[in-house]
Amino acid sequence: MIEERYKEGLSFGLGLVRKLFEGQSAFQKVEVFESTHHGRVLLNDGCFMLSERDERIYHEMMVHVPLNVHPYPRRVLIIGGGDGGTAREVLRHESVERCVMVEIDAMVVDACRKFIPQTAGQLGDARMDLRIEDGVRFMKTSDERFDVILIDSTDPNGAATPLFGRDFYKDVAAHLAPEGIVIAQGESVFYEQETQVSLLTLASELFPCTGMFNFTNMTYPGGLWSFLWASRGPHPLRDLRPHRLETFYYNEDVHRAAFQLPEFQRQSLKPWTTI
Amino acid sequence: MIEERYKEGLSFGLGLVRKLFEGQSAFQKVEVFESTHHGRVLLNDGCFMLSERDERIYHEMMVHVPLNVHPYPRRVLIIGGGDGGTAREVLRHESVERCVMVEIDAMVVDACRKFIPQTAGQLGDARMDLRIEDGVRFMKTSDERFDVILIDSTDPNGAATPLFGRDFYKDVAAHLAPEGIVIAQGESVFYEQETQVSLLTLASELFPCTGMFNFTNMTYPGGLWSFLWASRGPHPLRDLRPHRLETFYYNEDVHRAAFQLPEFQRQSLKPWTTI
């Protein structure tokens, strides 16, 4: 078994065929396994990041929700996203001229390029500008502005902790073009209500249009997971344009439905939601 | 750990405090545990049936979706549902005059009455007619008709297998009043596509309005689960009435959103969906 011990007593496992890669970078333990029924899987510090069988769910929802709402997304910034799946979906949008991806950990990118080309296979695209660099530092030094910023981070432990903080979001706001949209990995709906409240609170101080939207995949413990939505104006429901790409999970109805939160989550996030 | 080995290499576990009950009935192994973070949990044949922490999700979605659509639900039939959670939610609707519940396994009812009053606490209600009997047999012998029939079964193995078959659904149709609605536990979206297709196919032969709707809880493996919707006429979106009860997960927007299926599921079920 490949097993993750999540919080609050929860464990989750997939059948193991063999380990393909294990390394310890400056930031985390990186592992790639071949699983019995879910293709290849990536774990950072013992937490499932993706399986080949269901990674399209997370990546489609992170990317197509904002890119089908922004009126003309040309410049996209990804913070994190080392497996390349988010970049792959971004590059499917013809309007995109430039995609900057800032990943702190070269080991994740290298391992996925070698063992998980399904996600990392487009990282050599001519429109990509891949930088192995701390996303927090990139924000301090770059003067570029982006139409869409995607914060594709791991959980708020270790290297990813600052990516859930107020200082970082101030820098994100400074790099966002007019009509810009920010999406961030928003953690478990059931187990991370505090993180969701904290993320949405600080986003609502910086952006006029804020909320969260949900998705479910097979391999994230607790079933229901979220993304943060924050924008300078575009509204995720009123400004949705027709979707034209082939997808596994996403469609226009799923897009709209994702913003309809379970009652307990709706109540808990209401004060900071404008959608 | 309390651990379930699901199909296709998947395992799922909750932290264990202690075992409260274990018994082998004529139909299945029945176990109740105290978990570390999810309250008391019921397992039948090693599969999680419910945890106190999240059972409201399943029971609210099974009950309030049809009872908020039927114009005036007075008579409700539950097949299975031994833990009592479905009956509890049915009884919250003031229009309900009579709720017949037909559970094959007395051991499940007795164990839940003793150890999980959160779900079984309303089974003594004056409107309840609780019968320990095979649901398939009940259908053959009863001549009563119902406004709403809820098939709250375990997975299609062992005693529950006939509840996924054509003969049973013919009997269900015969017991359904005009404007009647049938809801059935519809299994895992990711891992049980064949079961979903088979259930929806046979329902579409018997009822004019058919489809599936989804929910996500913490304790069913693979995250995304379904219910079958089948009715003699009422449409789950067009005929939705205002919801007035306090709920944990369900609200009117969640109701509508639940019918917006992920693209792969929508494509796979399209030929038999009229919603």
CATH no. for residue A154?
Answer: 3.40.50.150
Contact status of B38 with chain A (Cβ, < 8 Å): yes
pLDDT at position A155 is 84
Query: Cβ contact (<8 Å) for A38 and B224?
Result: no
- What is the number of alpha carbons within 13 Å of residue B116 lying toward its C-beta? 33
Token pair listed for A243:
């979707």
Query: Which amino acid is located at A106 in the chain?
Result: A
Active site residue A152: yes
Total residues belonging to chain A:
275
Cβ partners under 8 Å of residue B77, min gap 6: B99, B100, B101, B102, B144, B146, B148, B149, B150, B175
| Residue of B2, B10, B61, B219 to mutate when probing chain A, most A C-beta within 10 A | B10
Q: Which of helix, strand or coil describes residue A28? A: coil
Q: Is A113 exposed, middle or buried (0-12, 13-18, 19+ CB in 10 A)?
A: middle
Listed by number, the residues of chain B in 161-200 with a beta carbon closer than 8 Å to a beta carbon of chain A are 190
A12 shares its domain with A139: no
What's the mean pLDDT when you consider all of chain A? 96
Report residue B76's pLDDT band, with 50, 70 and 90 as the boundaries: very high
Query: Which residues does chain A have within 8 Å of residue B57's beta carbon, measured at their own beta carbons?
Result: 262
B120 shares its domain with B241: yes
* Residues B218, B258: Cα–Cα separation, whole Å: 17
pLDDT at position B245 is 97
* Residues A61, A69: Cα–Cα separation, whole Å: 12
Q: Which of helix, strand or coil describes residue A132? A: strand
Q: Where a domain ends, among B29, B51, B73?
A: B51
* Residues A54, A30: Cα–Cα separation, whole Å: 19
Query: Which residues does chain B have within 8 Å of residue A253's beta carbon, measured at their own beta carbons?
Result: 260-261
CATH classification of the domain holding A22: 2.30.140.10
Q: Closest to B217 (Cβ–Cβ): which among A3, A12, A223?
A: A223
Query: Cβ contact (<8 Å) for B218 and A222?
Result: yes
Q: DSSP string covering B106-142, please? A: HHHHHHHHHH-HHHHTTTT-TTEEEEES-HHHHHHH-
* Residues B140, B168: Cα–Cα separation, whole Å: 9
The closest of A67, A7, A1, A33 to A222, measured between CA atoms, is: A7
Q: Closest to B37 (Cβ–Cβ): which among A9, A35, A248?
A: A9
Classify strands A11-14 and A2-5 as parallel, antiparallel or unpaired.
antiparallel
pLDDT at position A264 is 98
Query: Cβ contact (<8 Å) for A224 and B223?
Result: yes
Listed by number, the residues of chain B in 247-266 with a beta carbon closer than 8 Å to a beta carbon of chain A are 247-251, 253-254, 256-258, 260-264, 266
Query: Cβ contact (<8 Å) for B218 and A266?
Result: no
Contact status of B267 with chain A (Cβ, < 8 Å): no
Q: Is A31 exposed, middle or buried (0-12, 13-18, 19+ CB in 10 A)?
A: buried
pTM: 0.97
pLDDT of B221 above 90: no
User: pLDDT tens digits, residue range A129-171?
Assistant: 999 999 999 999 999 999 999 999 988 888 788 898 999 999 9
Q: Is A132 left (phi over 0), alpha (psi -120 to 50) or beta?
A: beta
> Shortest Cα distance from B264 to chain A (angstroms)?
5
Contact status of A216 with chain B (Cβ, < 8 Å): yes
Give me the numbers of helices (H) and strands (E) for chain B, helices first please.
9, 13
Q: How far is CA B41 from CA A13, A251, B19, B64, in A?
A: 20, 36, 10, 23
Percent of chain A scored above 70 by pLDDT? 100
pLDDT (mean) for B108-127: 98
The catalytic residue among A45, A152, A155, A171 is A152
Token pair listed for B172:
């269900």
* Residues B58, B151: Cα–Cα separation, whole Å: 13
pLDDT of B159 above 90: no
User: pLDDT tens digits, residue range B20-32?
Assistant: 999 999 999 999 9
Token pair listed for B270:
């399209």
Query: Which amino acid is located at B33 in the chain?
Result: F
Q: How far is CA A25 from CA A31, A40, A48, A116, in A?
A: 11, 20, 17, 18
pLDDT (mean) for A42-61: 97
A173 shares its domain with A38: no
B29 shares its domain with B137: no
Query: Cβ contact (<8 Å) for A256 and B253?
Result: no
Q: Closest to B9 (Cβ–Cβ): which among A35, A254, A258?
A: A35
Q: Is A21 exposed, middle or buried (0-12, 13-18, 19+ CB in 10 A)?
A: middle
pLDDT at position A221 is 86
ipTM above 0.90, yes or no: yes
User: pLDDT tens digits, residue range A213-226?
Assistant: 999 999 998 899 99
The catalytic residue among B54, B83, B134, B152 is B152
Query: Which residues does chain A have within 8 Å of residue B261's beta carbon, measured at their own beta carbons?
Result: 253-254
Percent of chain A scored above 90 by pLDDT? 94
Query: Which residues does chain A have within 8 Å of residue B190's beta carbon, measured at their own beta carbons?
Result: 54, 218
Q: Where a domain ends, among B10, B32, B51?
A: B51
**Are A248 and A218 spatial neighbours (Cβ–Cβ below 8 Å)?**
no
Contact status of A223 with chain B (Cβ, < 8 Å): yes
**Are A45 and A135 spatial neighbours (Cβ–Cβ below 8 Å)?**
no
Contact status of A19 with chain B (Cβ, < 8 Å): no
The closest of A86, A18, A14 to B190, measured between CA atoms, is: A14
B228 shares its domain with B155: yes
Q: Closest to A37 (Cβ–Cβ): which among B8, B224, B254?
A: B8
A111 shares its domain with A246: yes
Long-range contacts of A195-198 (CB under 8 A, 24+ apart): A195/A156, A195/A164, A196/A226, A196/A265, A196/A268, A196/A269, A197/A268, A197/A269, A197/A272, A198/A164
**Are B175 and B77 spatial neighbours (Cβ–Cβ below 8 Å)?**
yes
A244 shares its domain with A136: yes
| A110 backbone dihedrals φ, ψ, rounded to 5° | -65, -45
| Residue of A89, A263, A264, A265 to mutate when probing chain B, most B C-beta within 10 A | A263
A187 shares its domain with A237: yes
User: pLDDT tens digits, residue range A171-187?
Assistant: 999 999 999 999 999 99
pLDDT (mean) for A70-85: 98
B30 shares its domain with B63: no
Total number of domains constituting chain A: 2
Tell me which residue range forms the domain holding B102: 55-272
B101 shares its domain with B236: yes
A71 shares its domain with A192: yes
A16 shares its domain with A106: no
Cβ partners under 8 Å of residue B107, min gap 6: B23, B25, B30
